[in-house]
Amino acid sequence: MQVKLLHDLVEEMAGVGAGRIVEILFGKKDVNEFLIAKKMELTINQVRNILYKLSADGLVSFIRKKDKRKGWYIYYWTLKTEECLVKLEGSLLKKIEDLNAVLNSRETKRFYICKSCDIETTEERALEHGFTCEECAEVYELSDNSGPIRETKSKITRREKELKLIDGELKTIREKTAKRRARADKKEAKETAARKELMKKARAAARAKLKKAAGDTVKKVAKKIKKTKKVVRSARSTLAAARAKKIKAVKKKIKPIKKKVVRKVKSVRKKMAKRVKKVKKMVKPKRKSLSSKIKKFIKKKG
Ligand SMILES: [Zn+2]
């Protein structure tokens, strides 16, 4: 039913005979234009003309691929089912609207008919011509509206059935599209989350690396400081040893001089002491002891 409706739509859009293209494209994707021409028993240019018309109305889409052997482009066509159905929906709504207008006028207005010419006309037009036929001057008869009313009503019912069918089909397609989109969105969200997670991990790894590098640098610097301290310490001890050696050498050199000086000082002191003794002796009055005084007295007396 749907294919039949689409067939009619394409005939409406692209001309009689074009509708067969729907049967060839329906439910397929990227159909080679030469295959379409073969199946339709038309030339490639005739087929392209039909397809270009449908393409202008957005009912078909194409991709093109370069033929590797022949070097020219081949077009591959796909029927855009949803767009076709939307177009069909619009067309049906317009038809129903027109039919309702017809029904309304049949229900509310009078029409006149010339039975010999089988030409029907509106009351206004019949009045203009004095209720006689424009062609044969026969007197118009009042037209029976019951037949056209019945016919129009049945047409409306048929179109409304078609519309219902198309709307149902559209709903299904749109639901499918929505589901597909939701799936795609979900997939994308998942991919985005995965990408974010990956970035997070990469950043953490970079941070850890940086931290480790910093730690290594600190360690290296500490090691260097330790080494430097050791060098300084060793230099200091070398210096101290050198100084001690020098002092020792100087002391050694000084020692005999010191001895000499000490000796000299001692001898000078000795000399001085002797001299002091002598001077003291000279200065000191001679004190005679009592015994010697007695001895002297005895000597004198005796
Ligand atoms: Zn007539």
Q: Report how far ligand 1's centroid is from the alpha carbon of 98 (Å).
A: 27
* CA–centroid distance, residue 111 to ligand 1 (Å): 14
Mean pLDDT of 1-8: 84
Over residues 1-16, the mean pLDDT reads 87
Task: Please check the confidence at residue 244 and state whether its pLDDT lies above 90.
Answer: yes
| pLDDT, tens digit, 9 for 90 and up, residues 162-188 | 999 999 999 999 999 999 999 999 999
- The pLDDT score that the predictor gives to residue 52 is 95
Higher per-residue pLDDT: 285 or 62:
62
The pLDDT, as a whole number, for residue 59 is 94
Question: What pLDDT shows up at residue 248?
Answer: 93
- Give the torsion sign (CA, 34, 39, 44, 48): negative
Q: Residue 302's pLDDT is what? A: 65
Distance 110 CA to ligand 1 centre (A): 18
Which domains does the chain carry?
1-79 (1.10.10.10)
| Residue 286 in this model has a pLDDT that exceeds 80 | no
Tens-place pLDDT, residues 18-54: 999 999 999 999 999 999 999 999 999 999 999 999 9
**What value does the mean pLDDT take over residues 267-287?**
87
DSSP letter (8 states) at residue 1: -
Mean pLDDT (the chain, rounded): 92
pLDDT at 240 over 70: yes
Q: What pLDDT, in 10s, does the model give residues 112-148?
A: 999 999 999 999 999 999 999 999 999 999 999 999 9
CA 116 / ligand 1 centre spacing (Å): 5
| Ligand 1 geometric centre to CA of 124 (Å) | 17
